[in-house]
Amino acid sequence: MPTKTSTETLLASITEDVRKKFEGEGTGHDWWHIKRVTQLAVRIGTEEGADATVVELAALLHDIDDWKFNGGDDEAGSRAAALLLKKHGADDALTETVCDIIDRVSFKGAGVKDDMPSLEGRCVQDADRLDALGAIGIARAFAYGGSKARPLYDPNVKPVLHATKKAYISSEGTTLNHFDEKLFLLKDRMHTATGKRFAEQRHARMKEFYDQFLNEWNGEV
């Protein structure tokens, strides 16, 4: 049997720690989200010619101590990621590269521009966004809305395109409005050609659901 390389060992140890940490999480940021994003990121990264180790590590760690669950602390995630990477023997350069991606990955409102300079980060951000689209995206949106006791829809509450991260995180809309406020915007914010291609398909599926939801709301069969 060939022995595992240090990269394989690092990836296996981080995967195991992240799986343990996220198992049983119910807000749409559970282990399976991490696993789906990692799979997609690696697939996009392969097509785009990105560094596979950086892509896989950043995808595995992208939601660790997310700022949305940390009172808006932008860097809690990368601090937690750095500790894990160091614990499992990643060198400083790799740790820095991965942590920089983690700091930049999250969606912070319709009017807040993305800032993701590295190809690897772009692959991970595309994969994370793809998991907010399509059939899975619909399921996650309603699971999130349910966890916050939000109404499915209210025709009297109009969608808002948030100009700042602060306005975005403090907003109290309906779940259907989240489609206008974030989900339908994502296909035009994809970075890679591969991500764009996948997003078009998922966007169309989601739009069909949304239109049908409103038809049924208005009494159509």
Residue 104 site contact among Ni ion, ligand ADP, none (CB < 5 to 8 Å, cut-off depends on kind): none
**Could you tell me the maximum CA-CA distance found in the chain, to the nearest angstrom?**
65
Question: Which is nearer to Ni ion, 120 or 128 (by Cβ)?
Answer: 128
Binding interface with ligand ADP (CB under 6 A): 28-29, 68, 106-107, 128, 132, 137, 140-141, 144-145, 175, 178, 182-183
Residue 56 site contact among ligand ADP, Ni ion, none (CB < 5 to 8 Å, cut-off depends on kind): none
Can you tell me the distance from the alpha carbon of 210 to that of 158, in angstroms, rounded to the nearest whole number? 15
Question: Which is nearer to ligand ADP, 17 or 25 (by Cβ)?
Answer: 25
Q: How far is the CB of 66 from Ni ion (least distance, A)?
A: 8
- Of 157, 183, 155, the C-alpha closest to 172 is 157
CA atoms within 13 A on the CB side of 125: 26
Chain center to CA of 86: 24
Q: How far is CA 20 from CA 17, 60, 64, 156, 160, in A?
A: 5, 12, 12, 42, 37
Residue with tokens 């390389």, as numbered in its chain: 5
Question: Which is nearer to ligand ADP, 54 or 136 (by Cβ)?
Answer: 136
Residue 126 site contact among ligand ADP, Ni ion, none (CB < 5 to 8 Å, cut-off depends on kind): none
Return all residues near 146 (Cβ < 8 A) that are at least 6 apart: none
Task: Tell me: does residue 126 bind Ni ion (CB under 5 A).
Answer: no
Q: How far is the CB of 43 from ligand ADP (least distance, A)?
A: 18
Residue 65 site contact among Ni ion, ligand ADP, none (CB < 5 to 8 Å, cut-off depends on kind): none
Which of 48, 56, 126, 128 touches Ni ion (CB under 5 A)?
A: 128
Question: Which is nearer to Ni ion, 68 or 153 (by Cβ)?
Answer: 68
**What token pair was written down for 152?**
């499915």
Chain center to CA of 213: 24
Question: Which is nearer to Ni ion, 7 or 185 (by Cβ)?
Answer: 185
Q: How far is the CB of 50 from ligand ADP (least distance, A)?
A: 19
Near Ni ion in 56-85, by CB under 5 A: 63
Residue 11 site contact among ligand ADP, Ni ion, none (CB < 5 to 8 Å, cut-off depends on kind): none
Residue with tokens 């991970």, as numbered in its chain: 124
Terminal-residue alpha carbon distance, the chain: 61
